[in-house]
């Protein structure tokens, strides 16, 4: 029987992430520290890893094969992926089935915001040359890249995606670290930040920040955010 506390816990889980991978060991430790760990402990997120090799009937647990038509590099086979995704979908509904791939849409804060609003998602990590195209055609609802470079697999990309979305889930960050003031929210980079001491080796913190005049501080931050964005990422201002 469920205790009230465990029912609360179940009710409070607002996001479930299932990650399908051939190297689950690559994924675990980032969820065992810092903000991602706390989000799981608070019951706001559940993360489940699925080893694709558990879904193959092959004696050698092989999940990849040569490309039809020839060419370098192995391709992840459709059958184990189908079995894993079909099993998960028989247990609950999913809002998004994401494939991590360098030819997907490039991850932005805007995409992270959108995905953080979802309930249940699956993230499929590609490996080798990638997955059989039929997986993408028939199971995947969104394809995401973390940048224009090629990694050995989708796992590190999946971790980056998870970190970016988990910190946006209400209750994960405290007020003092609110994601609303992050760079890229509002298409602006964050302004410079300082902490004690107010003077170090003669290097002073801008006076306005220690003035206690909060409207002025806010105005300074807005100006600095704009200036920084104009200098470093003028493309953001054009969007
Ligand atoms: N897998 C390999 N390279 C990748 C990238 N840049 N983004 C997401 N997944 C990947």
- Over its length of 239 residues, how does the chain's per-residue pLDDT go in tens digits? 333 344 344 445 689 999 999 999 999 999 999 999 999 999 999 999 999 999 998 899 999 999 999 999 999 999 999 999 999 999 999 999 999 999 999 999 999 999 999 999 999 999 889 999 999 999 999 999 999 999 999 999 999 999 999 999 989 998 646 787 788 878 999 999 999 999 999 999 999 999 999 999 999 999 999 999 999 999 999 97
Supply the residue whose CA is at minimum distance from atom 4 of ligand 1.
102
52 CA → ligand 1 middle, Å: 18
Look at domain 183-238 and name its CATH class. mainly alpha
**Ligand 1 nearest atom to the CA of residue 152, by list position:** 2
Choice from 75, 126, 155, 158 to test ligand 1 binding pocket (greatest atom count within 8 A of CB): 126
Q: What is the pTM of this model?
A: 0.91
**pLDDT computed for residue 9 by the predictor:** 45
**pLDDT computed for residue 89 by the predictor:** 98
Choice from 101, 136, 149 to test ligand 1 binding pocket (greatest atom count within 8 A of CB): 101
For the Cβ of 101 lying below 6 angstroms from any atom of ligand 1, the answer is: yes
For the Cβ of 105 lying below 6 angstroms from any atom of ligand 1, the answer is: no
Supply the residue whose CA is at minimum distance from atom 1 of ligand 1.
154
**pLDDT computed for residue 12 by the predictor:** 52
**pLDDT computed for residue 204 by the predictor:** 98
CATH 1.10.1270.20 residue ranges of the chain are 183-238
CATH 3.40.1280.10 residue ranges of the chain are 4-166
Q: CB atoms < 10 A from the CB of 214, how many? A: 8
For the Cβ of 126 lying below 6 angstroms from any atom of ligand 1, the answer is: yes
CA dist 18 and 95 (Å) reads: 12
- DSSP per position, the chain: ---HHHHHHHHH--EEEEEEES-GGGTSGGGGSHHHHHHHHTTSEEEEEEEGGGG---TT---EEEPTT--SSEEE-HHHHHHHHHHHHHHS--SEEEEEEEEEEEP-HHHHHHHHT-SEEEEEEPBTT-B-HHHHHHT-SEEEESSSS--SBSHHHHHHHHHHHHTTSTTTS-GGG-GGGSTTGGG-PPPP---S-SEETTEEPPGGGGS--HHHHHHHHHHHHHHHHHHH-HHHHH-
Q: Homologous superfamily of 4-166 in CATH?
A: SPOUT methyltransferase, trefoil knot domain (3.40.1280.10)
14 CA → ligand 1 middle, Å: 27
């Amino acid at each position: 029987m469920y205790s009230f506390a465990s029912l609360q816990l179940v009710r409070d889980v607002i996001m479930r992430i299932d990650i399908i991978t051939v190297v689950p060991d690559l994924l675990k430790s980032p969820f065992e520290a810092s903000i991602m760990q706390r989000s799981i402990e608070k019951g706001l997120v559940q993360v489940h890893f699925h080893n694709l090799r558990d879904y193959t009937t092959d004696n050698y647990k092989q999940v990849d094969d040569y490309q039809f038509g020839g060419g370098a590099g192995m391709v992840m086979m459709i059958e184990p992926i189908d079995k894993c995704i079909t099993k998960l979908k028989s247990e609950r509904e999913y809002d998004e089935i994401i494939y991590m791939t360098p030819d997907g849409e490039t991850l932005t804060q805007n995409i992270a915001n959108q995905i953080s609003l979802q309930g249940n998602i699956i993230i499929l990590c590609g490996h080798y040359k990638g997955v059989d195209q039929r997986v993408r055609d028939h199971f995947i609802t969104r394809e995401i890249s973390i940048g224009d470079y090629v990694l050995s697999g989708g796992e590190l990309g999946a971790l980056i995606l998870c970190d970016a979305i988990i910190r946006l889930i209400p209750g994960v960050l405290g007020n003092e670290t609110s994601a609303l003031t992050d760079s890229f929210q509002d298409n602006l980079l964050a302004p410079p930040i300082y902490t004690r001491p107010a003077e170090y080796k003669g290097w002073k913190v801008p006076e306005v920040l220690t003035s206690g005049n909060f409207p002025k501080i806010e105005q300074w931050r807005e100006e600095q955010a704009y200036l920084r964005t104009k200098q470093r990422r003028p493309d953001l201002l054009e969007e």
